[in-house]
């Protein structure tokens, strides 16, 4: 049983660990965290193209509001697959306006 498995069991134990094993465990923990964060960044950067209905639900606004915003240039649509779509990156930017970063 390795250190990760022991920790996951949640039992209370006294354990003596040598410095090499502790160092290896720390490196492994950092590597796993790095992989998880890289995956989150990759998924976040992937562009998606939601429909007007999906965007209206995300922003909690009426479809007519989205139409007005498109005409004013506030949130533009794009032609995609024979229909109107939005860039999710622009929807996220709209959601994040005014928030502290």
Neighbours of 77 (CB within 10 A): 19
Q: Which residues of the chain have pLDDT under 70?
A: 98-101
pLDDT, tens only, 22-47: 999 899 999 999 999 998 888 777 88
Residues whose CB is less than 8 angstroms from the CB of residue 17 and which lie 6 or more positions away in sequence, other chains included: 3, 25
The pTM of the full predicted model, rounded to 2 decimals, is: 0.55
């Amino acid at each position: 049983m390795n250190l990760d498995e022991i920790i996951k069991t949640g039992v209370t134990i006294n354990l003596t660990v040598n410095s090499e094993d502790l160092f290896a465990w720390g490196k492994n923990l950092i590597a796993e965290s790095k992989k998880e964060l890289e995956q989150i960044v990759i998924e976040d950067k992937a562009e998606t193209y939601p429909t007007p209905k999906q965007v209206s639900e995300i922003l909690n606004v009426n479809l007519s509001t989205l139409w007005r915003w498109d005409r004013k240039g506030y949130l533009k649509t794009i032609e995609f697959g024979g229909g109107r779509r939005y860039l999710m990156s622009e929807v996220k930017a709209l959601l994040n306006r005014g928030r502290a970063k």
